[in-house]
Structure 1
Amino acid sequence: MPPRVSVLGTKKHWDSVYAQEHLNYRNNSKDLGECWYSDSDAEEKIGQFVLDHFKRGKTGGLCDLGTGNGHLLLTLSKMGLLNSNMVGIDYSQDSVSFATDLVNSSSDDQYTGICFYRSNFLLLNDQFLNKSSARFGLIIDKGTLDAIYLSTTKYEDGKRSGIQIYPARVASMMKPAGILLVTSCNFTAKELIKTVTKDGIFKYWTQLHYPVFEFGGFKGSAVNTIAFRLIDR
């Protein structure tokens, strides 16, 4: 697919979004910000997948790429996942500040152990990336690859797009045979599988199921969640 240009692919946009969500939360502690793909119950489906495939919810370390307001990790914790090694990362400091505030201001210790860090993992010199080699057994991406697809930013001497380097960067943070779970609304299932597996770093494992719609003779889902396994090298 050719890249598209959108404000959704810019850091400036997401800084503004999470700064506003943080302000809204400070004015109303019940306002936890937007939950992406809530109409499809994506977070609940992701949580159930993890509980079904990881014994007692132990993932060997979980990282939420592009965590935003941290809503996904909070949901997973409520569903019973052990959160002693749950990490959310985002390139927006406003995102990290808001998500951290949500955890720290909780009235109980339900979210103890969930940590958030500022990181642009697509950059080779990113501090978090360089400290997280082979660290995670499960990496979850809910909408971040979509935003990367909409960005015009180039990497590695300005020659490669974020989409091109995404598999290698993610793989560097994963333990052997680790699982990458990607949720997207921009990619069809076929496109998503091709994008993540094209370099031979990941292989398709399975996918979550959502309601199917039909239009013009074509069938599909508004949201796709695909699980990939890191290929042993």
Structure 2
Amino acid sequence: MEPPLLGLPNYHQDGSYAEYLANFQERSHTDDWFGTENMDVLVSWTKNLCSNKDLRSCSVLDIGTGSGRLSQQLAKQGFSDLTGIDHSEGAIEVARNLAIRDGFEHINFLVDDVLESKLERRFELVMDEGTLDTIGLHPDGPVKRMMYWQSVAGLVSPGGILVITSCSRTKDELVQEVESFNQRKLSAMGSEGAQASDTAVFKYIDHVQTYPIVDSSCITTVAFSHS
């Protein structure tokens, strides 16, 4: 069973998502769309990206956590201060239950909409595995994506890292989207004569070079640093 498109306007009420979650409770994390091999590549690459950090104290936010699979895999890599958020109460219930089952009770799972986040802290590492993609499926996708960048900019600590995984955008397209956001912020600040590179909110760091192909969809992961 394929997960529903959470970016669509009826994602809160759509019974298909409740059915998906109910079925998921009887399934393994390995049934996730992302795939075990891809997940191994992502978490290993992310750990290397944070090689200069103390993983035990590095604060991590998993946006659109769903079943909490990514948070669990990061915990296995040594990250301890983990928070997973999702707008769906059902998803958070599943994530909490699976975390208890698998011995990861320390992961903090919260109901929170990234577009209107109520979180009152920033994080050194923010992970997005497909949430920006689903937001883009909304009829007001372009507007929602701008809201996303504005919100995420307030969730990443200065000097922190944002890692976005997408199956609908290439690396160059994600970099261009970030540059457009930086330019909008620069214009809003009215920084006449300032160089965009000096006032950028996010700057490109690196990207995953290769992923196994799943269902003929190319997966892209790009990392950005927060100024």
Same fold? TM cut 0.5: yes
Query: Offset at 1:165?
Result: 2.1
Does residue 36 (structure 1) correspond to residue 30 (structure 2)? The answer is: no
Write the deviation string for residues 205-232 of structure 1: whole angstroms up to 9, x where unpaired: 110111599xxxxxxx81110000112x
1:193 to 170, 175, 187: 175
In the superposition, relative to structure 1, how do residues 167 and 181 fare at CA in structure 2: closer, same or farther (>3 Å)? same
In the superposition, relative to structure 1, how do residues 144 and 113 fare at CA in structure 2: closer, same or farther (>3 Å)? same
2:145 alignment partner in structure 1: 163
1:115 alignment partner in structure 2: 108
Query: Partners of 2:114 and 2:64 in 1: how far apart?
Result: 9
Give the residue type in structure 1 aligned to 2:224: F
> Could you tell me the percent identity over the aligned residues?
28
Query: Offset at 1:36?
Result: 2.8
Q: Is the 8 A contact 1:25 1:33 kept in 2?
A: no
Query: Partners of 1:176 and 1:23 in 2: how far apart?
Result: 39
Give the residue type in structure 2 aligned to 1:161: V
Structure 2 residue matching 1:105: 3-state secondary structure: helix
Q: Is the 8 A contact 1:11 1:91 kept in 2?
A: no
RMSD (Å), alpha carbons: 2.8
Write the deviation string for residues 181-226 of structure 1: whole angstroms up to 9, x where unpaired: 001010111111111232222111110111599xxxxxxx811100
Does residue 98 (structure 1) correspond to residue 85 (structure 2)? The answer is: no
Give the residue type in structure 1 aligned to 2:108: C
2:79 alignment partner in structure 1: 82
Which consecutive residues of structure 2, in runs of 5 or more, have no partner in the other structure?
183-200
For these two proteins, the number of residue pairs brought into alignment is 201
1:20 alignment partner in structure 2: 19
Does residue 227 (structure 1) correspond to residue 223 (structure 2)? The answer is: yes
Structure 2 residue matching 1:9: 3-state secondary structure: coil
Query: Offset at 1:34?
Result: 3.9
Structure 2 residue matching 1:57: 3-state secondary structure: coil
Q: Is the 8 A contact 1:202 1:229 kept in 2?
A: yes
In the superposition, relative to structure 1, how do residues 62 and 18 fare at CA in structure 2: closer, same or farther (>3 Å)? farther
Pairwise mapping of residues 132-171 of structure 1 onto structure 2 (< 5 A)?
A: 132=121, 135-153=122-140, 161-171=143-153
1:184 to 148, 166, 175: 166
Which consecutive residues of structure 1, in runs of 5 or more, have no partner in the other structure?
1-5, 155-159, 214-220
Q: TM-score, normalised by structure 2?
A: 0.77
1:63 to 61, 64, 88: 61
Query: Partners of 2:16 and 2:78 in 1: how far apart?
Result: 28
Query: Partners of 1:177 and 1:210 in 2: how far apart?
Result: 26
Q: Is the 8 A contact 1:208 1:224 kept in 2?
A: yes
Query: Offset at 1:57?
Result: 2.9
Give the residue type in structure 1 aligned to 2:173: E
Give the residue type in structure 2 aligned to 1:178: G
2:71 alignment partner in structure 1: 73
Q: Is the 8 A contact 2:58 2:79 kept in 1?
A: no
Q: TM-score, normalised by structure 1?
A: 0.75
Q: Is the 8 A contact 2:9 2:138 kept in 1?
A: no
Query: Partners of 1:153 and 1:116 in 2: how far apart?
Result: 28
